[in-house]
Amino acid sequence: MKRHLAQAAVAAALSLAAPAFAQDFVTTSAAKTIPGTEGKDIYNAICSGCHMPDGTGATGAGHYPALAGNAMLEGPDYPIHMIIHGQKAMPPVGDVMTDDQIAAVVNYIRHDLGNAFEGETTAADVAAAR
Amino acid sequence: MSSQPKGMSRRDLLAMVGMAAGASAMYSAMAGMGYAGTSDYKGPVKLEGDPKGASVLVLGAGLAGMTAAYELRRAGYKVQILEYREKAGGRCWTLRSGDSYTELGGYTQKVGFAEGNYLNPGPWRIPSDHYAVLDYCKRFGVKLEPFMQVNYNAYVHNTEAFGGKPQRFKEIQADYRGQIAELLAKAVKQDKLDEAVTDEDAELLVASLKRYGVLNDDLEYVKSEKVSEHRGWEKQPGGGVGAEPVPSNIISLSDILKGKLWNNLITGESIDHQAAIFQPVGGMDMIAQAFEREVKDLITYNAKVIRYEGGENGVTATYVDAKAGGAEQTVSADYCICTIPFSVLGQIEHNFSAPMTAAIEDVYYESSIKVGLEFKRRFWEQDDHIYGGISYTNLPITLISYPSTNFFSDGPGVLLGTYSWGAAAYQFNAIAPEARIEKALEFGAQIHPQYRDEFSNGVAVAWHRVPWTLGCYGEWRDKEKHYPAATAMDQRTLMAGEHISFLPAWQEGAILSALNAIERLHKHIIG
């Protein structure tokens, strides 16, 4: 929490100092990766589109699985693999995120969204899985 | 690797000339959309021989499913169709005034467009070599009109070039081509390419480049009346006193190159975008409606298939009401044509073989976003003299497409204000419809400042949120490996749809795959 507050303060200071606001949306159609560094921001820039902001998933003719309360997220390897390579209808989205972003979002979905799985994922873990 | 050769090889030269001429259709506007292929349609399918009462269950009432059902019934089969939605058409879909669309996540958009205005969230163009779609349109009386793909008076735009000011397509096109022609003509004239071009060819090449690039007798592309006839005038010619035109200035090749405005000059030149290219009058789903009129009595709507089982004695699909759920119902037949997108089929309980299962699971569906924006007046026509066609930009919206119909009308008009793929599409998908529309306005206003004053309402379809496809079109992870299994008969089922074709994402691919499947099925049954 302390870390988050410190970062928020820095972000606020930056936004006051410079006219440019924190980039929260891709700036070009040719963007290779989505913006953002915080797990939550990254989640809400890509993952939430299908898994929904609260991680409850969605159902139509097929469904998008819930991430909230999903036991498959107990270890980080499965979500890392799913993000990078996809599986079945889940597209590989490793190319639209950096290793750091994937690590941050893996931590977010495992630590947040009502989940409390242990362990920190690092960019090095992601790089090793690519 | 050998060191860089000093001169160009003949092949390099010809390739370069070809590319500049647009002869090389190497660029697809829709990244990852596979081939720009010509249809192999051979005319109406002929299923001769008596199927002796054989029955076929068709899963999905999109164009593939309805093509299969229509033709099989004509050939004497007993046919029924299960469709997840409340209406037919699948991705051949149009949103117009009064329509309501609820996406995954629960956002419902009520389309507020004026009467007659529409957005085609899926396919929106029919190339003139998509013979099957065009043939069914003709047979079913679907009226077509020209789709304006290339408009020389539309814009090319890059936030990093020309101070972010959009440039007219014709100016960039003429100046880019002219200056490349000049460079090449001079190089040939100065014998710099003598190893690559024979003397005889060199003379002809210079003559052709002079014509091609609108060069003067000194092989220069310079400000002139002739050049202005291509790129436009500084002051237009008029009548009477003071009517002489004033030639316009040329934009330097360096500025064009740095601004990357050459990027979309040949988008309209691939065979799936070349003129002539068409759209149905009134919206793409006029095709769906025409098919539906033919097979409506065969369709069970709101049927969510939850189980499929095929075997020696036939096939059985189990479904529930897509909205209310409730009791399971079953439909049985001798055979099945399955057009359910693999993104959905992979989640349905089935007894397909391991190779078919692997094929189904190999396919994911692309992310794509379209935003339709209605404006109170057609300012692009009235202020900017743009009649149909497409402006391209490096902004996340990718393009703005102007309506190819109802030119010069006074009422409101609808622009396609976003059509994007990749990271941009994912991010559009992750925000609420009204936020997508707001982004489309924010970016589009950088090209057309009239946006904010004239905006009326909009609708945004992000394809990963579409409940019945879970994405835009099927993308194979390893098509070479799995495609043969996907096309083989498995548990008395043959698959069809754009994903079972080499024209992926196109309606032509969906129809051709259906025709191919029923021909094979018929042969199997008749023997």
Give the model's pLDDT for residue B35: 54
CA dist., res. B522 & res. B488, Å (int) = 14
What is the tens place of the pLDDT at every residue in B170-186? Answer: 999 999 999 999 999 99
Long-range contacts of B160-168, Cβ-Cβ distance < 8 Å, separation of 24 or more? B160/B259, B160/B260, B160/B394, B161/B255, B161/B258, B161/B259, B161/B260, B161/B261, B162/B255, B162/B259, B164/B446, B166/B391, B166/B393, B166/B447, B167/B251, B167/B259, B167/B261, B168/B231, B168/B232
Give the model's pLDDT for residue B195: 86
Does residue A29 fall inside a structural domain? no
For B279, phi then psi, to 5°, come to: -145, 150
What is the tens place of the pLDDT at every residue in B257-313? Answer: 999 999 999 999 999 999 999 999 999 999 999 999 999 999 999 999 999 999 999
For B504, phi then psi, to 5°, come to: -60, 150
Give the model's pLDDT for residue A23: 64
Over 60: is that where the pLDDT of B23 sits?
no
Nearest-CA distance A48 → chain B (Å): 6
The CA distances from residue B401 to B165, B280, B387, B502, in Å, are 18, 16, 10, 26
- Would strands B95-96 and B100-102 be described as parallel, antiparallel, or unpaired? unpaired
- Give CATH for domain B55-89+286-364+475-526: 3.50.50.60
For B170, phi then psi, to 5°, come to: -65, -30
Q: Do the beta carbons of residue B89 and residue B288 sit within 8 Å?
A: yes
Half-sphere exposure in the Cβ direction for B165 (13 Å, CA): 6
Average pLDDT of chain B is: 93
Mutate: best of B103, B427, B499, partner A, most A CBs <10 A: B427
CA dist., res. A94 & res. A91, Å (int) = 9
Residue boundaries of the structural domains of chain B: 10-20+161-259, 55-89+286-364+475-526, 95-153+275-282+367-465
Q: Of B363, B426, B467, which has the smallest distance from its Cβ to A60's Cβ?
A: B467
What token pair was written down for B38?
């010509």
**Interchain contact A50–B (C-beta under 8 A):** yes
Over 60: is that where the pLDDT of B389 sits?
yes
CA nearest to B416, candidates B102, B147, B33, B108: B147
Torsion of CA B100, B103, B106, B112, to 10 degrees: -30
Give the model's pLDDT for residue B12: 54
ω into A66 cis (within 30 of 0): no
Mutate: best of A50, A56, A87, A96, partner B, most B CBs <10 A: A50
For B231, phi then psi, to 5°, come to: -95, -10
Residue B200's Cβ-count burial label (10 Å; 0-12, 13-18, 19+) is exposed
**Interchain contact A24–B (C-beta under 8 A):** no
CA dist., res. B279 & res. B293, Å (int) = 20
Please spell the DSSP secondary structure of B147-164, one letter per residue.
-----TTSEEE-TTSGGG
- For residue B325, list chain A residues with Cβ-Cβ distance below 8 A: none
CA dist., res. A112 & res. A39, Å (int) = 10
Question: Collapsing DSSP states into helix, strand and coil, what is residue B493?
Answer: strand
**Interchain contact B158–A (C-beta under 8 A):** no
Q: Of B361, B365, B426, which has the smallest distance from its Cβ to A46's Cβ?
A: B426
Query: How high is the ipTM of this complex?
Result: 0.88
**Interchain contact A45–B (C-beta under 8 A):** yes
**Interchain contact B423–A (C-beta under 8 A):** yes
**Interchain contact A124–B (C-beta under 8 A):** no
- For residue A102, list chain B residues with Cβ-Cβ distance below 8 A: none
Mean pLDDT, rounded, for B311-331: 96
**Is the CATH code 3.90.660.10 the one for domain B95-153+275-282+367-465?**
yes
**Element (DSSP H or E) covering residue B278:** strand B277-280
**Interchain contact A64–B (C-beta under 8 A):** yes
What is the tens place of the pLDDT at every residue in B425-458? Answer: 999 999 999 999 999 999 999 999 999 999 999 9
Give the model's pLDDT for residue B5: 40
Does residue A109 fall inside a structural domain? yes
CA nearest to B339, candidates B366, B299, B297: B299
Does residue A1 fall inside a structural domain? no
Q: Do the beta carbons of residue B506 and residue B272 sit within 8 Å?
A: yes
Q: Which domain holds residue A60?
A: 35-129
Closest B-chain CA to A53: B430
**Interchain contact B109–A (C-beta under 8 A):** no
What is the tens place of the pLDDT at every residue in B345-365? Answer: 999 999 999 999 999 999 999
Q: Which amino acid is at B142?
A: V
Phi-psi region of A65 (alpha: psi -120 to 50; beta: other; left: phi over 0): beta
The CATH code of the domain that includes A75 is 1.10.760.10
**High-pLDDT (> 70) share of chain B, %:** 93
Over 70: is that where the pLDDT of B2 sits?
no
Q: Of A26, A45, A63, which has the smallest distance from its Cβ to B347's Cβ?
A: A63
Segments of chain A with pLDDT less than 70: 1-23
Note whether A49 contacts B342, CB cutoff 8 Å: no
Considering the four listed CATH numbers 1.10.1740.10, 3.40.50.11030, 1.20.1440.240, 1.10.240.10, the one that applies to the domain covering B10-20+161-259 is 1.20.1440.240
Does residue A65 fall inside a structural domain? yes
What is the tens place of the pLDDT at every residue in B54-105? Answer: 999 999 999 999 999 999 999 999 999 999 999 999 999 999 999 999 999 9
Q: Between A and B, how many CB-CB pairs are < 8 A?
A: 119
Mean pLDDT, rounded, for B142-165: 97
What ranges make up the beta strands (E) of B3-140? 55-59, 78-82, 95-96, 100-102, 108-110, 118-119, 126-127
* Angle, vertex CA B422, rays to CA B418 and CA B424, nearest 5: 50
**Interchain contact A81–B (C-beta under 8 A):** no
Q: Domain total for chain A?
A: 1
Note whether B347 contacts A25, CB cutoff 8 Å: no
Do B95-153+275-282+367-465 and B10-20+161-259 have the same topology in CATH? no
Mean pLDDT, rounded, for B137-149: 98
